[in-house]
């Protein structure tokens, strides 16, 4: 059975200004000249840990980790009073990944994601397939209504009735018909006496059920007040909005990435992201290699899952892909220039739509359908408007120039990095299943 690679320290770290007042923590470890891979953590809101570096051969990979908006060492942190999550959506995270890729001078990279990270990996790859060499996905989660209902609205209570009672406890009896919505109100409450117990209950439910056998250290980390508050707020924010995509969209659009080599690893007894989603993805994407681990739940560090994941990264380390820095505008041969522009336009349009309306409720299906139609119309208008196209192209050019901008703001970054390092020292021993 495979084990993690030895512990390593980062070669470089930084805080990338991604706009909207947000700075994301990133690090690079392994081999500076190795095959680029980006690790996408779970949650959303779970953050990275030093253990995540150890999923990759440090002699062969240039290992990129980053903490998504609002969590880990990224700032502002979602646990802070008055935390504003309006600029924290899937499409913002995809734009952040592109900024980070350009900042690091990487042309293409392997994308590795588990749990929520698998959803973000699929969304990123379907938006930017020309930037992905391979996909390694674990514990498949796509935020479909049936997936959310299973774990947060009562389905999994059939297996964990004792733990479910603790999850229900903070929610008033009259508000238990729609628990994700009820928790949203509790977590947004300004009084710590209200939002903190709710955050801990939310995080305890997840951390107690993601492994085949309970892991006390995982539960303790998830239920520490600062971590729990950020984790629960960000997760709930994303779940209430259905990830800002149509129900089933990630599986529906898999045709965009069927040419990309991929491995899917799924625990048979995963209670958090049950196997039905991995199976649906497999049926839509038969070219992807599916590994079902019969003696595992959800967590990446369960022995069978870990062996399959490291087996995949070892194998991909020996195959193709882009190594080191390449011209960011190189013709990769996978999509033509018009397709690239269309994908970038689509992403920018999605960001504009999110900024204009952050109050979409996944429970209101009729409103969602109307809004989807409106968004489609607006996308058509953008594609037909040359002036808007020019603005979009300017924004994309700005992303590619981020590295120069970062050098100009190094003094500000120094203070931001010091802030993050304070949090890192306080949480030096952290590790986690997500």
pLDDT tens digits, residue range 249-282? 999 999 999 999 999 999 999 999 999 999 999 9
The pLDDT tens digits for 225-245 are 999 999 999 999 999 999 999
Q: Is 350 exposed, middle or buried (0-12, 13-18, 19+ CB in 10 A)?
A: buried
Classified as helix, coil or strand, 207 is helix
Q: Which is the catalytic residue, given 67, 96, 247, 270?
A: 270
pLDDT at residue 434 in the model: 65
What is the rounded distance in angstroms from the CA atom of residue 65 to the CA atom of residue 149? 30
- Residue 342 near residue 304, CB atoms below 8 Å: no
CA distances from 142 to 137, 164, 210, 360, 434 (A): 12, 23, 17, 17, 15
Kindly give, in sequence order, each residue whose CB lies less than 8 Å from that of residue 358, ignoring residues fewer than 6 positions away. 86, 89, 241
Share of the chain above pLDDT 70, in %: 74
**What mean pLDDT value characterizes the chain?**
83
What is the rounded distance in angstroms from the CA atom of residue 88 to the CA atom of residue 24? 12
Classified as helix, coil or strand, 63 is strand
What is the rounded average pLDDT of the residues 189-215? 96
Closest CA to 291 of 301, 273, 305: 305
What is the rounded distance in angstroms from the CA atom of residue 208 to the CA atom of residue 187? 20
Q: Which residue has the higher pLDDT, 334 or 175?
A: 175
Regarding beta strands 61-66 and 22-30, do their DSSP bridges make them parallel or antiparallel, or are they unpaired? antiparallel
- Residue 328 near residue 303, CB atoms below 8 Å: no
338 as an active site residue: the answer is no
Sequential DSSP letters for 297-362: -S-TTSHHHHHHHHHHHHHHHTS-S--SB--TT---SSS-HHHHHHHHHHHHHHHHHHHH-----T
Closest CA to 18 of 76, 72, 64: 76
Taking the CA atoms of 210, 198, 225 and 88 in sequence, report the sign of the dihedral they define.
positive
Q: Which is the catalytic residue, given 29, 74, 79, 115?
A: 115
Q: Which is the catalytic residue, given 41, 298, 301, 340?
A: 298
Closest CA to 190 of 82, 84, 71, 85: 82
The pLDDT tens digits for 43-70 are 999 999 999 999 999 999 999 999 999 9
Among the residue ranges 47-61, 301-315, 332-346, the one predicted with the least confidence is: 332-346
Predicted TM-score of the model (pTM): 0.80
| Backbone dihedral angles phi then psi of residue 431, each to the nearest 5 degrees | -155, 165
241 as an active site residue: the answer is no
| Backbone dihedral angles phi then psi of residue 91, each to the nearest 5 degrees | -70, -30
| Total number of residues shown for the chain | 434
pLDDT at residue 160 in the model: 98
203 as an active site residue: the answer is no
CA distances from 131 to 106, 247, 252, 321 (A): 9, 25, 20, 10
Among the residue ranges 13-17, 72-76, 385-389, the one predicted with the least confidence is: 385-389
The pLDDT tens digits for 89-132 are 999 999 999 999 999 999 999 999 999 999 999 999 999 999 99
What is the rounded distance in angstroms from the CA atom of residue 281 to the CA atom of residue 51? 28
pLDDT at residue 145 in the model: 98
CA dihedral 394, 332, 347, 80 (to 10 degrees): -90
pLDDT at residue 333 in the model: 31
Regarding beta strands 109-114 and 132-138, do their DSSP bridges make them parallel or antiparallel, or are they unpaired? parallel
- Residue 232 near residue 198, CB atoms below 8 Å: yes
Among the residue ranges 62-66, 158-162, 318-322, the one predicted with the least confidence is: 318-322
Classified as helix, coil or strand, 38 is strand
């Amino acid at each position: 059975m495979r084990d993690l690679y030895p512990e390593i320290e980062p070669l470089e770290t930084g805080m990338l200004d991604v706009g909207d007042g947000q700075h994301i923590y990133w690090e690079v470890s392994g081999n500076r000249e190795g095959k680029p891979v980006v690790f996408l953590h779970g949650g959303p809101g779970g953050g990275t840990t030093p253990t995540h570096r150890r999923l990759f051969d440090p002699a062969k990979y240039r290992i990129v980790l980053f903490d998504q908006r609002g969590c880990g060492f990224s700032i502002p942190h979602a646990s802070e009073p008055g935390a504003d999550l309006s600029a924290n959506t899937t499409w913002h995270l995809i734009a952040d990944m592109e900024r980070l890729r350009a900042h690091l001078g990487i042309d293409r990279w392997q994308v590795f994601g588990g749990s929520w990270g698998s959803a973000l990996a699929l969304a990123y790859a379907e938006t930017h397939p020309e930037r992905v060499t391979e996909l390694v996905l674990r514990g498949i989660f796509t935020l479909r209504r049936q997936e959310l209902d299973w774990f947060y609205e009562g389905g999994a209570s059939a297996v964990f009735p004792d733990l479910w009672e603790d999850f229900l406890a903070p929610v008033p009896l009259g508000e238990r018909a729609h628990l994700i919505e009820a928790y949203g109100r509790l977590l947004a409450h300004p009084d710590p006496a209200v939002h903190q117990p709710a955050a801990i209950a939310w995080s305890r439910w997840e951390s107690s059920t993601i492994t085949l056998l309970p892991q006390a250290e995982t539960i303790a980390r998830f239920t520490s007040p600062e971590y729990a508050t950020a984790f629960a707020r960000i997760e709930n924010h994303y779940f209430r909005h259905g990830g800002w995509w149509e129900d089933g969209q990630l599986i529906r659009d898999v045709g965009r990435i069927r040419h990309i080599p991929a491995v899917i690893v799924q625990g048979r007894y995963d209670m958090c992201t049950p196997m039905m989603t991995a199976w649906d993805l497999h049926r839509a994407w038969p070219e992807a290699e599916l590994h079902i681990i019969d003696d595992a739940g959800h967590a990446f560090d369960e022995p069978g899952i870990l062996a399959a994941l490291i087996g995949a990264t070892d194998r991909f380390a020996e195959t193709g892909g882009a190594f080191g820095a390449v011209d960011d505008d190189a013709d990769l041969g996978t999509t033509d220039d018009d397709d690239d522009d269309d994908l970038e336009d689509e992403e920018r349009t999605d960001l504009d739509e999110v900024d204009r309306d952050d109050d979409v409720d996944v429970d209101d299906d009729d409103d969602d359908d109307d809004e989807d139609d409106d968004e489609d119309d607006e996308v058509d208008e953008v594609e037909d408007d040359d002036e808007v196209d020019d603005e979009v192209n300017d924004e994309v050019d700005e992303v590619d120039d981020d590295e120069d901008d970062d050098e100009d703001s190094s003094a500000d970054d120094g203070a931001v990095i010091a802030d993050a390092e304070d949090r890192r020292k306080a949480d030096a021993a952290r590790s986690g299943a997500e």
